[in-house]
Amino acid sequence: MHLPSFTQLSSPLSLFIAYIPLVGTVVTTVLSLILARATLRYAETTERSLALAREEFEREWSPELHIKLEKISSSDARIVVTNLAKISVLLQMVQLRRTTHAIPFGRHFLNEPLVGGMTWTQELGKRLTVCTGDDFEGQIAASITFYASGRLFRTDWFRFYIEVRGGRLLRLDAANIAARRVRVLESRKGSEEARRELVMDVAGKTLEEKA
């Protein structure tokens, strides 16, 4: 009498045991999908973090200079160059020009080191008034070329408003900051050849911009 009852009990138990691998497979698949999604999110977050770190590193260690012209007296002014980056640079040449002229009216060659975060200054003397004349009112621009990490760079033109009356410097104010970051001019050339190429590059680039 008890044999049929045992058979009835063993049948659901066998069915339950048979479904255990299937349930285990479903659970494993769901967990795998969750882990895969979490891994993708972690990878995306890591990639964004690396991109931000790389951008921060490049911004801190890429060369970047700020140029300012200051009035000292009615007959003299000075140029102030600030190294905004951490990397040290070697200043090579200061160029000045009127914004209405394609070719720079003043070139002064240098060999001055400038540590990151520091400032370099030099008096311009009569370089401004000699080029502007005794009476002039308008904009002039200044640019710096320098070596950094074995490459020659040039800043964009920083513009300033100047007013000269009777040979006296009445006003010298910043018009705007440079619109573009520094650009590489050359990497492995001799100093004299680089300087000749630099002068040609400045004139050529300015003529292209005016065109």
Average pLDDT estimate for 2-18: 59
Question: What's the CA angle centered on 78, arms 77 and 79, to 5 degrees?
Answer: 140
When comparing pLDDT for 132 and 156, which is higher?
156
Q: Is the Cβ–Cβ distance between 164 and 158 less than 8 Å?
A: no
Q: Where are the domains of the chain?
A: 1-61, 63-210
Q: Which CATH architecture has domain 63-210?
A: Sandwich (2.60)
Average pLDDT estimate for 195-201: 44
Count of CB atoms situated within 10 Å of the CB of 172: 20
Average pLDDT estimate for 121-139: 82
Of 22-26, 74-78, 140-144, 189-193, the least confident: 189-193
Coil vs helix vs strand at 193: helix
